Amino acid sequence: MADGVFPLVELALQVCSARGVREFVVAPGSRSAPLTIALARHPDINVRVVYDERAAGYVALGMAQQLRRPVGLVCTSGTAAVNFGPAVVEAFYQQIPLLVLTADRPPEWIDQQDNQAIHQTGLYAPHVRYHATLPQEEHTDAQWHVVRIISEALNAATGLSPGPVHINVPLREPLYPPPGYQPDFQHSLRIPTPATSHPLLTESAWPPLLAAWRQAQRKLIVVGMMPPDAALHTALMRLQADSSVAVFADITANCWPHAAPLMQADVALGTRDPATLTALAPDLVIYLGGQVTSKYLKQLLRAHPPQHLWRVQPAGAAPDTYQAMTALLHMAPADFLHALADRTTPASAHDYAQIWRRLNAQARQQLFRLLDDAPFGEFGAMRQVIDALPAQSHLQIGNSMPIRYANFIGVKPDRAPAMVNANRGVSGIDGCVSTAVGAATTTSAITTLIVGDLAFFYDRNGLWQRSLPPNLRIVLLNNHGGGIFDIIEGPQRLDEATRTDYFLTPQPLSARNTAHDHGLRYAHVADADALQAALPVFFDPANGSAILEIETTMEANRTVFQAFRVMVGEFRR
């Protein structure tokens, strides 16, 4: 038996280890036994066991999100593999490298009423960078093929457009080794590895770009979801010496506060004054990174298309989010902006950046005054939590209202997180808890998830693990239902019964029992004073992992947000 599937599986994992894939998440199962046993016995691979496959996928995503290198993910056959799907899709749109290994039945048993046998070849297409099937039978050519497949997969996962890759692994019985069997991870291998490359524009591409740059009097650099990048930050600060340049960055761009000081820019864009919007509308836009949370920015650029919009990314087809793209520039964003700064001289005769600064200051002052005077709700609670974050900690933000609140509030300069992440690839609520758990396993820094109640309870299985990292902190904003549908404008046009029963989905749950089940400290607050008193204890590194449940009412949250809408609509230049 040891001459069957085991040598090929061990060979595959030897290649993974040699290429730097040292972290794996395994969801237990029988068909995947050869993979799991080999992983457990590999001396250089760390394995985390997560019982729920959907949660396991997101845990691996959270780890890879932090590490910026591939994390392996293993499951058994059948619906187990399907449950990796949401995390794979999120990783694809975030450009996060995952190596997904799905155990499978031999192909002749598919559609033959055999247990856990489904069509798994190409299961995640088109949301992977590469997919293949490992050979089943031991042979010299098969060994060469295994090395080639794993190498090609990892090349695709870590290329200029990184992302998840999928290798299906058909396995025949017997699936367990005989007593005394010792794995072999010492094959003499030739493992091809790609050379690092940095795409550059030809010199002939620069003259029209520079001409457009010099002619534009209102230049806006838009930075979406990106990992922290010191070189990018330096380039952004260099270009902002030009009075015609402003930077609009999402909280997940990891540029606040120094490289992108306009932290309330999204609030300022809520104005309904046509003259102010016209003054903010740019002539030229440079768009970097992933998704941007701001709906106001989309409305501005779609209503006032810039003359030039340059999308800058290392490779691949470009999203035309603002329906105005005029050029696709294949360079790393930091490299392009530094090259641009080297070729241009800062202008001082324009007031575009000053307009943004004045409106940003006005927005900040009025937003915080509104929250100071407002009744207790999740908007104000979010501000208290963000202001109390430990300096240089890591922040994970849930979808729906938490990411919107965070984008409006900004960060405290002296308590700015070292890294901010959110599942904004496709903006689902289904893996927020699991992703945060995975992220926390990769660092000793306090890692805080701020999440709404539906997303939290939907993904409770992310906490169902043998142990949870002691640096994990979960802030639960519990309004007992889908509170976003009581705030956004569309559902407000529905009758109350339809909105309540089919959109708000009221629920009576508390996280108290969940915290007890998983060994987490638990605290509950329902007013600003109690929250302020609880935060130092909650964030104390000596106190271990915890859940802080902040209970609010939909009515209070709706009242505050309606006042916010009125306030921002009245901004004037």
pLDDT tens, 162-186?
A: 999 999 999 998 999 888 888 889 8
Mean pLDDT of 187-214: 92
Instruction: Answer yes or no: are the C-beta atoms of 339 and 557 closer than 8 Å.
Output: no
Residues 440, 471 contacting (CB under 8 angstroms): yes
63 burial level (CB within 10 Å; 0-12, 13-18, 19+): buried
What would the pLDDT profile of 466-482 be if each residue is shown by its tens digit? 999 999 999 999 999 87
Please give the CATH topology (third level) of the domain spanning 205-357. Rossmann fold (3.40.50)
Instruction: Give 43's pLDDT tier (boundaries 50, 70, 90).
Output: very high
Per-residue pLDDT averaged across 28-44, rounded? 96
How far apart (Å, rounded) are the C-alpha atoms in residues 537 and 543? 7
Sheet holding 130-133, edge to edge: 46-49, 23-26, 71-75, 98-104, 164-170, 130-133
Query: What residues have CB less than 8 Å from 401, skipping those under 6 apart?
Result: 378, 452, 477, 483, 484, 487, 557
pLDDT band at 486 (very low <50, low <70, confident <90, very high): low
pLDDT digits (tens, 9 = 90+) for 416-440: 999 999 999 999 999 999 999 999 9
Q: Which helix or strand (DSSP H or E) is residue 532 part of?
A: helix 528-539
Count of helices and strands (H, E) across the chain: 21, 17
At 283, the pLDDT band (50, 70, 90 cuts) reads very high
Say how far apart CA 483 and CA 503 lie, in whole Å. Answer: 9
As beta bridge partners, residue 68 has: none
Q: CA 16 from chain center: how many Å?
A: 24
Peptide bond connecting 208 to the previous residue in cis, omega within 30 degrees of 0: no
Pick the CATH number of 5-170 from 3.40.50.970, 3.90.1170.50, 3.30.530.20, 3.90.226.10: 3.40.50.970
Asked if 205 and 327 touch (Cβ cutoff 8 Å), the reply is no
Provide the β-strand partners of residue 478: 551
| pLDDT mean across residues, the chain | 94
Q: Where are the domains of the chain?
A: 5-170, 205-357, 374-569
4 band by pLDDT with thresholds 50, 70 and 90: low
pLDDT for residue 1: 35
Token pair in block for residue 163: 């992302």
Look at residue 2 and tell me whether its pLDDT is greater than 60: no
**b/e per residue, 227-237, with b = 16+ CB within 10 A?**
bebeebbbbbb
**What is the enclosing helix (H) or strand (E) of 352?**
helix 352-373
CA 289-24-85 angle, to 5 degrees, is 60
The model's pLDDT over 81-137, given as tens digits with 9 standing for 90+, comes to 999 999 999 999 999 999 999 999 999 999 998 888 999 999 999 999 999 999 988
Specify the 3-state DSSP secondary structure of 527. Answer: coil
Cα separation, 431 vs 427, in Å, equals 10
Taking residue 85's Cβ as centre, other Cβ atoms within 10 Å add up to 16
pLDDT at 487 > cutoff 70: no
Which of the two residues, 140 and 331, has the higher pLDDT score? Answer: 331
- pLDDT for 515 beyond 80: yes
Q: Please report which confidence band the pLDDT of residue 483 belongs to, taking 50, 70 and 90 as the band edges.
A: low
Confidence (pLDDT) at 171: 94
Give the per-residue pLDDT at 244.
Answer: 97
As a whole number, mean pLDDT of residues 199-216 equals 97
Establish whether domains 205-357 and 374-569 are of one fold.
yes
| Average pLDDT for 299-318 | 96
Confidence at 18, pLDDT banded by 50, 70, 90: very high
- Distance between CA atoms of residues 102 and 74, nearest Å: 6
In angstroms, the CA 339 to CA 206 distance is 10
Predicted pLDDT of residue 54: 98
| Portion of the chain with pLDDT greater than 70, in percent | 98
| CA distances from residue 484 to 39, 391, 493, 552 in whole angstroms, order as listed | 43, 29, 14, 13
Place of tokens 């810039």: 306
* 501 band by pLDDT with thresholds 50, 70 and 90: confident
Say if residue 55's pLDDT is above 60: yes
- Does the structural domain 374-569 have CATH classification 3.40.50.970? yes
Structure tokens at 237: 């600060």
Q: Using the predicted structure, report yes or no on whether residue 485 has a pLDDT greater than 90.
A: no
Q: Which residues contact 564 (CB under 8 A, 6 or more apart)?
A: 367, 370, 379, 408
User: What is the model's pLDDT at position 479?
Assistant: 94
Task: Look at residue 363 in the predicted model and tell me its pLDDT.
Answer: 96
* pLDDT on residue 488: 67
